[in-house]
């Protein structure tokens, strides 16, 4: 098993594709159909294009504060592609690739960052929680879902995400401890992008890796090259299969890098050197995976350019619809706190309607 072969205490990191897209561990290449490989790459490419466009829209004053994903696409798509439709996905706030792969439309994603509640209302067939901005709080929700799956005897696994900074939060400890004690079918992927806003990874925890934190909870942990989509997929797939067999949770650290700012309110030039960013650009997950697909004869530079043009048009057309969308009904502010509005919320809603009717704003 990978978790046994790549012991984080020995500082071993799972890598299948090197930065040039060449296979360095043939025996570890996961069995993935060619059609699925292309779907994974196209989802990564759409994530990159949609992310770049979102940053532009925000800078133009057309979108609210936005959290860029550039550089982390393999960690997101590689993990999301390892679960099934029946499984749950619990995001933080920087997982556009996972959302798209899970089936959330680009329009819904743009609506969320545009400030519309419609962006958090997913179709019934998509088992995914909305964005969670309070750091690591989503992990307790993820454990609750996983424990409920056990109690209800449903064959489901929950995949949750957190950043490297989130592992220093109390919620992380509580969630991992509960998941371990109750043998919850949970897989937690730590997107270690090296910075918790401006705080470097090495300054917020003493452990050499984040994956080794799993040892304290008595569960498996593994560190993977987060810019290598095949390594991410392989590690997560093994963890998902393990959870589905009733063998409990796994902690996976995906070592990656945030090429852009933490959010559009952040200036990363204050706390990191351009040289560091340039070094990580050479490990770009898209270039790595594209090279692999081209070498396999599944893709070409010509197809790549054409696909980028199509995705750019899709992004522009989608955002135009978002900008022209209707205002959210007043009732929605109160309606979606619970399955049904409580008496207190109904009272607040009626009071506010009366206030507006009297000319208030």
DSSP 23: B
Count of residues in the chain: 361
The predicted pLDDT at position 117 comes to: 82
In this structure, the number of other CB atoms found within 10 A of the CB of residue 199 comes to 14
**Over residues 199-213, mean pLDDT:** 95
Q: What is the pLDDT of residues 79-120, one digit of tens each?
A: 999 999 999 999 999 999 999 999 999 999 999 999 988 899
Backbone angles phi, psi at 19, to 5 degrees: -65, -15
Let me know: does 247 contact 239? Beta carbons within 8 Å: no
DSSP 200: E
The predicted pLDDT at position 285 comes to: 98
- Which one, of 95, 65, 51, lies nearest residue 256 by Cα? 95
**In the structure encoding, which two tokens stand for residue 286, read together?**
């898209």
Mean pLDDT across the chain: 96
Distance CA 182, CA 317 (A): 46
**Residue 334: band (very low, low, confident or very high) from pLDDT cuts 50, 70, 90:** confident
Q: Considering only 34-38, 99-103, 200-204, 290-294, which range has the smallest mean pLDDT?
A: 200-204
Distance CA 3, CA 241 (A): 13
- CATH, domain range 2-327: 3.40.50.970
Q: What is the pLDDT of residues 160-180, one digit of tens each?
A: 999 999 999 999 999 999 999
Distance CA 16, CA 18 (A): 7
Let me know: does 178 contact 143? Beta carbons within 8 Å: yes
Q: What is the pLDDT of residues 16-73, one digit of tens each?
A: 999 999 999 999 999 999 999 999 999 999 999 999 999 999 999 999 999 999 999 9
Let me know: does 176 contact 214? Beta carbons within 8 Å: yes
Q: What is the pLDDT of residues 245-279, one digit of tens each?
A: 999 999 999 999 999 999 999 999 999 999 999 99
- Which one, of 292, 213, 260, 303, lies nearest residue 34 by Cα? 292
In the chain, which residue ranges form alpha helices assigned H by DSSP?
2-5, 34-59, 73-80, 96-102, 106-114, 137-151, 170-181, 229-244, 274-281, 285-295, 301-323, 331-335, 343-357
Q: Catalytic residue positions? A: 258, 262, 271
């Amino acid at each position: 098993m990978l978790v046994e072969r790549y012991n984080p205490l020995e500082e071993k990191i799972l890598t299948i594709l090197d930065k040039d897209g060449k296979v360095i561990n043939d025996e570890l290449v996961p069995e993935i159909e060619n059609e699925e490989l292309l779907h994974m790459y196209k989802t990564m490419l759409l994530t990159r294009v949609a992310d770049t466009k979102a940053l532009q829209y925000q800078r133009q004053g057309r979108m609210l504060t936005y959290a860029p994903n550039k550089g982390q696409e393999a960690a997101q798509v590689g993990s999301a592609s390892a679960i099934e439709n029946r499984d749950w996905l619990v995001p933080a706030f920087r997982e556009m690739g996972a959302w798209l792969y899970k089936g959330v439309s680009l329009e819904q994603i743009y609506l969320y960052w545009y400030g519309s509640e419609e962006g958090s209302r997913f179709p019934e067939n998509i088992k995914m929680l909305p964005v969670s901005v309070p750091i690591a709080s989503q992990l307790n929700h993820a454990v609750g879902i996983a424990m409920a799956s056990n109690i209800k005897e449903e064959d489901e696994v929950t995949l949750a995400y957190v950043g490297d900074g989130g592992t220093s939060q109390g919620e992380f400890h509580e969630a991992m401890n509960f998941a371990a004690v109750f043998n919850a079918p949970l897989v937690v992927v730590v997107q270690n992008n090296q910075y918790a806003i401006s705080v470097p990874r090495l300054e917020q925890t003493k452990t050499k890796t984040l994956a080794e934190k799993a040892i304290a909870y008595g569960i498996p942990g593994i560190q993977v090259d987060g810019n290598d989509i095949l390594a991410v997929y392989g590690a997560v797939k093994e963890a998902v299969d393990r959870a589905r067999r009733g063998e409990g949770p796994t902690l996976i650290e995906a070592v990656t890098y945030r090429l852009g700012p933490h959010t559009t309110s952040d200036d990363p030039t204050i706390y990191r050197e351009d040289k560091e960013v340039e070094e990580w650009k050479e490990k770009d997950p898209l270039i790595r995976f594209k090279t692999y697909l081209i070498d396999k004869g599944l893709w070409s530079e010509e197809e790549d350019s054409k696909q980028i043009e199509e995705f750019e048009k899709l992004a522009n057309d989608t955002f135009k619809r978002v900008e022209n969308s209707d205002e959210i009904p007043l009732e929605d502010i109160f309606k979606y706190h619970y399955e049904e509005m409580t008496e207190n919320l109904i009272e607040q809603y009626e009071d506010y309607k009366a206030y507006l009717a009297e000319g208030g704003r």
